[in-house]
């Protein structure tokens, strides 16, 4: 088993999403390496690329790893992993790692959005995922950013300049795109349209959230879209609650959870062997 | 796992069935296609007519074809069944002379109208009252069954014979009992037959003559008694699920394929094309009134209303099966645009949550583009269940120490 020096264990989590592959390296319970790379057509390679970039940032090699867990939609082609676990379970563990009192998570990724209810140990009590369309996902924001010819980062900033949220009726990315174009044509201020779009996504995601029925406790916002401050405040307003976002890039949350589970499961295995 | 030998005999019988139907029709016999489960098959059979249970699923291309006659926001089962008639290749659709429907689901009812208007099919409707639990509803249905029988008598060219009806009632009761016996194996730790195989056996009865179906069911039952399952330690991480929700019509293997791939054992269902074809059903007297009573009193479709959650037989059936078949959780499958089952999701979820039974809804159609998402959802549910089982196991072994 890989181990750099006596008593030190390294664990890896790899989360291969539709948009990007993320990896995190743990030294015991501490994050010592991380990486985010774009997901390319070859999913296996993308996962490996993320893992090796994270290993490099941690200054260790693949042989030093004790255990690796792969998650995300690309988990099915991850020959480098010792175990495969769904992103639902991984996100729960990740959020619990950063916020031990978390009772629920909203995760918005490239093609999925999900609401997860947690028990006190960071286990999944219940979860709901979006339908198979792009409404209420990072993809929706990407399509709109393209229609407005702005970068995805600028999209978030633009909401701050809006005076009010222009109502957007379509949650379908395709219909919303044409709605945006006609709003622009009618002279509506771009910042107000963007603000309206963020509310449209927030409302869509809030219905997922209401279905898991989590009332009290800390709520955590994860996934690449959690970096969008405009959406975060729209969601907070729609849900009537504060959303916590980790200081470590929230896009890494699934990979962090995968690494935590790599550690837990490896230690359990060792315990079992000893018993 | 080895397949019970008798299943091959079912396959062989089905291979010969289309030819038998063609021959029977050449000899002047009429074939009656039946939609939905409130039509007493016994009456059709006793009049010398050949009953077939129709309706198909699992083929997205055929479902696309149905859009020409109804909209694309209708249930894929209804769309596909229209598509099957449009295509005109399915031997059972082709060899159907008269189509009957017990009108419960609006979409299925419209489907039969489409088959009448656009495909020139002779159709016959049996109205099913929404107030089926009241004496007025029962009385109404009894009269409906009488009128329905009178129409069937015209098609058959003969009158109902009480003795023949009695024989048909006994035959179908025998089929239900034998099917129940096979289904009960699913409750075991190691069943000699899988859920998918049980469903195949049930669906064979949609097409085979009831006499042939019964003899094969009996054969299968005697074979199953002889199969010895090897004694293995039951792994604590095996996941046993019950499937509930919308129809899973012949041809639709989408969900079960994913479940088998992930290693889930399906131990029960309450699907109208599965367990509800035979369960919760007794004919007290072999008459039209007796049949009307038994069919109306069966475990209802979600499209049927019920006055009281406490006495709802559909819910009672779900809970009983979870207990008897020791299901770890319920997988609630809803077909897109199948409203009756979809709008009960939250209620089912809350009732199961209250008993701490994991519940997962899968909302899908016949397309393949959400297979990845189905995998993730089912796998995540399995992770929840396995963890819980591990905790229970752990707590028990701690106690033992």
pLDDT digits (tens, 9 = 90+) for B248-276: 999 999 999 999 999 999 999 999 999 99
Cβ-defined contact of B383 to A89 (cutoff 8 Å): yes
B380/chain A closest Cα distance in angstroms? 6
Task: Compute the CA torsion angle B289, B291, B293, B294 (nearest 10 deg).
Answer: 160
Q: Which of A73, A86, A131 minimises the CB distance to B380?
A: A86
- Over the stretch B6-26, which tens digit does the pLDDT of each residue have? 999 999 999 999 999 999 999
- Over the stretch B323-367, which tens digit does the pLDDT of each residue have? 999 999 999 999 999 999 999 998 999 999 999 999 999 999 999
Asked if A85 has any chain B CB less than 8 Å from its own CB, the reply is yes
Comparing alpha-carbon positions, the chain A residue that sits nearest to B356 is A125
DSSP β-bridge partners for residue B99: B33, B123
Q: Is B379 part of any domain?
A: yes
The sign of the torsion formed by the CA atoms of B97, B102, B108, B109 equals positive
DSSP β-bridge partners for residue A25: A12, A33
- Tens place of pLDDT per residue across chain A (275 aa): 455 556 789 999 999 998 899 999 999 899 999 999 999 999 999 999 999 999 999 999 999 999 999 999 899 899 999 999 999 999 999 999 999 999 999 999 888 899 999 998 999 999 999 876 777 788 888 888 888 888 888 888 888 788 888 888 777 777 888 888 888 888 888 888 888 888 888 988 998 898 888 778 899 999 999 999 989 999 999 999 999 999 999 999 999 999 999 999 999 888 877 77
Q: Is the pLDDT of residue B63 over 90?
A: yes
Q: Which of A89, A127, A129 minimises the CB distance to B373?
A: A129
- List Cβ<8 Å contacts ≥24 apart for B277-281: B277/B37, B277/B179, B277/B202, B277/B205, B278/B175, B278/B176, B278/B179, B278/B180, B278/B183, B278/B202, B279/B180, B279/B183, B279/B317, B280/B313, B280/B317, B281/B176
The CA distance from A7 to A29, in Å, is 13
The CA distance from A273 to B399, in Å, is 21
Contact B245, B344 (CB under 8 A): no
pLDDT computed for residue A152 by the predictor: 81
What's the whole-model pTM score? Answer: 0.91
Same domain for B252 and B118: no
B369/chain A closest Cα distance in angstroms? 8
- List Cβ<8 Å contacts ≥24 apart for B47-52: B47/B152, B47/B153, B47/B155, B47/B156, B47/B158, B47/B160, B47/B164, B48/B156, B48/B158, B49/B152, B49/B155, B49/B156, B50/B21, B50/B24, B50/B209, B51/B210, B52/B21, B52/B92, B52/B95, B52/B96, B52/B206, B52/B207
Specify the 3-state DSSP secondary structure of A240.
coil
Q: Residue B124 is inside which H or E element, if any?
A: strand B122-127
Task: Please indicate whether residue B129 or residue A171 has the higher confidence score (pLDDT).
Answer: B129
Contact A14, A255 (CB under 8 A): yes
Same domain for B144 and B273: no
Contact A128, A211 (CB under 8 A): yes
Domain count, chain B: 2
Q: Is the pLDDT of residue B233 over 60?
A: no
Residues of B in contact with A210 (CB under 8 A): none
The CA distance from B61 to B123, in Å, is 26
pLDDT computed for residue B279 by the predictor: 95
pLDDT computed for residue A4 by the predictor: 54
- Over the stretch B110-124, which tens digit does the pLDDT of each residue have? 999 999 999 999 999
Instruction: Compute chain A's Rg from CA coordinates.
Output: 19
Asked if B387 has any chain A CB less than 8 Å from its own CB, the reply is yes
DSSP A193: H
ipTM over 0.85: yes
Q: Which of B369, B370, B376 minimises the CB distance to A87?
A: B376
Structure token digits, residue B62: 């055929």
The angle subtended at Cα B157 by Cα B156 and Cα B161, nearest 5°, is 75
Helix-then-strand count for chain B, H and E: 16, 8
Q: How far is CA B291 from the centre of its chain?
A: 19
Quickly list H helices, B120-161.
135-156
Cβ-defined contact of B369 to A132 (cutoff 8 Å): yes
**Terminal-residue alpha carbon distance, chain A:** 19
The CA distance from B253 to B258, in Å, is 9
A-B CB pairs within 8 A amount to: 33
Q: Is B366 part of any domain?
A: yes
The CA distance from B235 to B239, in Å, is 9
Residues of A in contact with B346 (CB under 8 A): 211
Asked if A137 has any chain B CB less than 8 Å from its own CB, the reply is no
Specify the 3-state DSSP secondary structure of B72.
coil
| B204-217: b (≥16 Cβ within 10 Å) or e | bbbbbbbebbbebb
Last residue of a domain, one of B158, B186, B212: B158
Same domain for B138 and B265: no
Same domain for B246 and B382: yes
Same domain for B254 and B118: no
Specify the 3-state DSSP secondary structure of A238.
helix
Asked if B372 has any chain A CB less than 8 Å from its own CB, the reply is yes
Structure token digits, residue A96: 């619990």
CB atoms within 10 A of CB A21: 30
Instruction: Compute chain B's Rg from CA coordinates.
Output: 21
Asked if A183 has any chain B CB less than 8 Å from its own CB, the reply is no
pLDDT computed for residue A5 by the predictor: 58
- Over the stretch B78-98, which tens digit does the pLDDT of each residue have? 999 999 999 999 999 999 999
Cβ-defined contact of A131 to B384 (cutoff 8 Å): no
- In 3D space, the residue among B251, B203, B171 whose CA is nearest the CA of residue B11 turns out to be B203
pLDDT computed for residue A211 by the predictor: 86
Q: What is the CATH number of the domain that holds B90?
A: 3.40.50.11890
pLDDT computed for residue B231 by the predictor: 55
Structure token digits, residue B270: 């309450």
Phi, psi of A117 (to 5 degrees): -100, 135
Residues of B in contact with A127 (CB under 8 A): 380
- In 3D space, the residue among B193, B191, B187, B242 whose CA is nearest the CA of residue B385 turns out to be B242
Task: Compute the CA torsion angle A210, A212, A217, A223 (nearest 10 deg).
Answer: -90
Cβ-defined contact of B380 to A73 (cutoff 8 Å): no
Asked if B392 has any chain A CB less than 8 Å from its own CB, the reply is no
Q: What separation in angstroms does the CA of B230 have from each of B2, B227, B233? A: 12, 9, 10
- In 3D space, the residue among B36, B86, B77 whose CA is nearest the CA of residue B57 turns out to be B77
Q: Is B102 part of any domain?
A: yes
Residues of B in contact with A115 (CB under 8 A): none
Cβ-defined contact of A89 to B380 (cutoff 8 Å): yes
The stretch B241-254 carries a mean pLDDT of 97
Specify the 3-state DSSP secondary structure of A187.
coil
Asked if A208 has any chain B CB less than 8 Å from its own CB, the reply is no
Domain residues for the domain of B353 are: 231-400
Q: Is B191 part of any domain?
A: no
The CA distance from B50 to B207, in Å, is 9
Q: Which of B346, B373, B375 minimises the CB distance to A132?
A: B373
Top residue of B374, B376, B385, B397 to mutate, by most chain A CBs within 10 Å, is B376
Comparing alpha-carbon positions, the chain A residue that sits nearest to B365 is A132
Q: Is the pLDDT of residue B237 over 70?
A: no
Last residue of a domain, one of B112, B130, B158: B158
Asked if A210 has any chain B CB less than 8 Å from its own CB, the reply is no
Asked if B276 has any chain A CB less than 8 Å from its own CB, the reply is no
Asked if B369 has any chain A CB less than 8 Å from its own CB, the reply is yes
Q: Which of B353, B376, B380 minimises the CB distance to A124?
A: B380
- In 3D space, the residue among A142, A132, A129 whose CA is nearest the CA of residue A88 turns out to be A129
Cβ-defined contact of B384 to A123 (cutoff 8 Å): yes
A128/chain B closest Cα distance in angstroms? 9
Same domain for B124 and B239: no
Q: Establish whether domains A1-99+249-275 and A101-245 are of one fold.
A: yes
Cβ-defined contact of B383 to A86 (cutoff 8 Å): yes
Q: Is B170 part of any domain?
A: no
Q: Taking every pair of C-alpha atoms in chain B, what is the biggest distance, in angstroms?
A: 75
What is the CATH class of A101-245?
Answer: alpha beta
Task: Compute the CA torsion angle B205, B207, B211, B214 (nearest 10 deg).
Answer: -20
DSSP E strand boundaries for chain A: 10-16, 20-27, 30-38, 65-71, 83-84, 102-108, 113-118, 124-129, 218-222, 243-244
A86/chain B closest Cα distance in angstroms? 6
Cβ-defined contact of B370 to A132 (cutoff 8 Å): yes
Residues 120-139 of B with CB under 8 A from A: none
- In 3D space, the residue among B209, B257, B296 whose CA is nearest the CA of residue B16 turns out to be B209
Residues of B in contact with A72 (CB under 8 A): none
Q: Is the pLDDT of residue B102 over 70?
A: yes
Tell me the fold of A1-99+249-275: Nucleotidyltransferase; domain 5 (3.30.420)
Residues 92-131 of A with CB under 8 A from B: 112, 123-127, 129, 131
């Amino acid at each position: 088993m890989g181990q750099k020096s006596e008593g030190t264990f390294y664990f890896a989590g790899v989360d291969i999403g539709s948009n990007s592959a993320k990896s995190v390296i743990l030294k015991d319970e501490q994050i010592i390496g991380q990486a985010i790379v774009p997901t390319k057509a070859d999913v296996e390679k993308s996962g490996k690329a993320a893992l090796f970039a994270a290993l490099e940032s941690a200054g260790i090699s693949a042989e030093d790893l004790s255990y690796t867990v792969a998650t995300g939609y690309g988990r099915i082609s991850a020959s480098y992993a010792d175990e495969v676990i769904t992103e639902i379970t991984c996100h729960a563990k990740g959020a619990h790692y950063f916020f031990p009192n978390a009772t629920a998570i909203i995760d918005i990724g490239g093609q999925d959005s999900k609401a997860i209810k947690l028990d006190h140990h960071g286990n999944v009590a219940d979860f709901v995922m979006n339908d198979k369309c792009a409404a209420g996902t990072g993809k929706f924001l990407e399509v709109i950013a393209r229609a407005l010819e702005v970068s995805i980062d600028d999209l978030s900033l633009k909401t701050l300049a809006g005076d009010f949220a222009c109502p957007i009726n379509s949650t379908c990315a395709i219909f919303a795109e044409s709605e945006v174009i006609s709003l622009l044509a009618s002279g509506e201020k771009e910042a107000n349209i963007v603000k309206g779009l963020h509310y449209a996504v927030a409302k869509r995601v809030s219905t997922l959230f209401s279905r898991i029925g989590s009332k009290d406790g800390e709520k955590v916002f994860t996934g690449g879209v959690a970096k969008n401050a405009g959406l975060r405040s729209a969601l907070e307003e729609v849900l009537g609650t504060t959303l916590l976002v980790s200081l470590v890039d929230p896009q890494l949350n699934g990979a962090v959870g995968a690494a935590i589970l790599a550690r837990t499961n490896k230690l359990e295995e060792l315990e079992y062997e000893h018993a | 796992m080895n397949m019970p030998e008798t299943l091959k005999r079912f396959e062989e019988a089905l291979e010969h069935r289309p030819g038998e139907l063609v021959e029977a029709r050449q000899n002047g016999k009429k074939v009656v296609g039946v939609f939905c489960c409130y039509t007493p098959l016994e009456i059709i059979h006793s009049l010398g007519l050949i009953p077939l249970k129709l309706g198909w699923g699992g083929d997205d291309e055929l479902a696309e074809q149905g859009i020409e006659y109804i909209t694309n926001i209708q249930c894929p089962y209804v769309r596909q069944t229209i598509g099957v008639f449009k295509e005109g290749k399915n031997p059972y659709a082709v060899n159907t002379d008269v189509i009957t429907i017990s009108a419960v689901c609006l979409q299925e009812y419209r489907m039969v109208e489409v088959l009448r208007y656009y495909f020139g099919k002779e159709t016959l409707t049996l109205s099913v009252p929404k107030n089926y639990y009241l004496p007025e509803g029962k009385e109404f249905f009894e009269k409906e069954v009488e009128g329905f029988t009178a129409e069937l008598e015209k098609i058959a060219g003969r009158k109902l014979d009480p003795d023949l009806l009695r024989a048909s009632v006994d035959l179908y009761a025998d089929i239900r009992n034998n099917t129940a016996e096979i289904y009960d194996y699913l409750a075991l730790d190691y069943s000699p037959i899988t859920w998918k195989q049980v469903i195949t056996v049930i669906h064979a009865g949609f097409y085979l003559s009831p006499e042939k179906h019964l003899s094969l069911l009996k054969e299968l039952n005697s074979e199953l008694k002889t199969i010895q399952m090897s004694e293995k330690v039951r792994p604590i991480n095996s996941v046993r699920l019950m499937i509930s929700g919308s129809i899973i019509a012949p041809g639709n293997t989408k969900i079960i394929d994913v479940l088998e791939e992930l290693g889930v054992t399906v131990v029960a269902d309450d699907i109208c094309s599965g367990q509800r074809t035979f369960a919760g059903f007794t004919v007290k007297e072999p008459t039209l009134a007796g049949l009307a009573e038994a069919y109306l009193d069966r475990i209802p479709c979600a499209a049927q209303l019920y006055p009281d959650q406490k006495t709802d037989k559909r819910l009672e059936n779900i809970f009983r099966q979870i207990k008897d078949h020791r299901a770890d959780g319920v997988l609630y499958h809803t077909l897109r645009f199948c409203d009756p089952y979809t709008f009960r999701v939250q209620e089912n979820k809350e009732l199961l949550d209250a008993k701490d039974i994991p519940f997962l809804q899968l909302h899908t159609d016949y397309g393949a583009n959400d297979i990845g998402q189905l995998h993730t959802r089912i796998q995540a549910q399995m992770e929840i269940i396995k963890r819980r089982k591990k905790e229970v196991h752990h707590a028990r072994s701690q106690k033992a120490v």
